[in-house]
Amino acid sequence: MPSLLILSMMVGTIATPVVADIYNVNVPSGFFSGPQSGIGSWYRASTGQDSTNGQSWCGYKYYNSDPVLAPSLKAMGGATYNSNPDAWRQQTRKYCGLEAKVTDPATGKSQLMYIGDSFDDAWVRTPASIDIMIDAYSNIHGNPNGDKNNVIKGVQWELTGRVNTQYAAPGASWTPTSGGSGGGSGGGSGSTGGLGAKCDGQTKLCNSGLTCLSPDGVCSDKACNWG
């Protein structure tokens, strides 16, 4: 269900990040440390049914193709642009862009995703439940075909200890570290691969937008071996 909106008054005042870099950082202490499990729902970037308008809580435009996830707003401080602009800026700069490995236990498929929105706590059924952008959701679970009852039960996710500056909030300044944070095991030990690279869905992951297909163990831009 829906992620929180930034009012249209912000459109045009905040630019979308263009140059991306991914590196190890210190994840805020106590923020979803270690493996997490909850309900994985899906949403679209700009549709009335999902209460979205193409503008992320993180302060930039986003699209269905962006590999982003939305954790609980409350867990990230609870501020919005409308409720407290200063606190909202601090909170978005603190969390947006953090990388997580997300796995559907039913299909065994994993993908690296990035915090790029907040989840309205009215729809957060368990503390670690996340809302996943539709294309990334379809990559690991399959197309829900508009069915909001189609969710990933027991979705597994864990922060990797890295940040992707493409999905960081405007004005954010992340300090690189040598070993990542304590956000979970393998914070700096995993590797990512491009199209056609070997993968195992565990330590050898695929770049954003690609799926590790089994049994081949190859990074692909297809959701399945026969697609």
> What residue segments make up the domains of the chain, in order of their start?
8-185, 190-227
Residue 210 scores a pLDDT above 80: no
Asked whether residue 215 carries a pLDDT value surpassing 70, the answer given is no
- The pLDDT, as a whole number, for residue 185 is 33
- The β-bridge relationship of strands 152-164 and 22-24 is antiparallel
Residue 9 in this model has a pLDDT that exceeds 90:
no
* pLDDT bucket at 10, cuts 50 / 70 / 90: very low
pLDDT over 70 at 42, yes or no: yes
pTM: 0.75
Average pLDDT of the residues of the chain? 83
Residue 89, C-beta contacts closer than 8 angstroms, at least 6 positions apart? 59, 169, 171
pLDDT of residue 72: 94
Structure confidence by residue, pLDDT tens digits, 108-130: 999 999 999 998 888 788 889 99
Give me the pLDDT at residue 199, please: 72
Q: Residue 217: pLDDT band by 50, 70, 90 thresholds?
A: confident
- Is the separation of the CB atoms in 142 and 107 below 8 Å? yes
Helix ranges (H only) for the chain are 85-95, 134-141
Q: What is the pLDDT of residue 138?
A: 98
E strand segments, 86-180: 98-103, 110-115, 130-133, 152-164
How far is the C-alpha of 190 from the C-alpha of 171, rounded, in Å?
A: 28
With the CA atoms of 72, 77, 83 and 87 taken in that order, what torsion angle do they form, in degrees rounded to the nearest 10? -140
Task: In whole angstroms, give the CA distance from residue 60 to residue 57.
Answer: 8
Examine the pLDDT at 168 and tell me if it is beyond 90: yes
Please write the tens of the pLDDT for every residue from 48-76: 999 999 999 999 999 999 999 999 999 99
The pLDDT, as a whole number, for residue 80 is 95
- Residue 189's pLDDT is 38
- Residue range 8-185 forms a domain whose CATH class is mainly beta
Summarize the confidence of residues 91-107 as an average pLDDT: 98
pLDDT at 183: 41
> Which range, of 21-25, 165-169, 201-205, averages the lowest pLDDT?
201-205
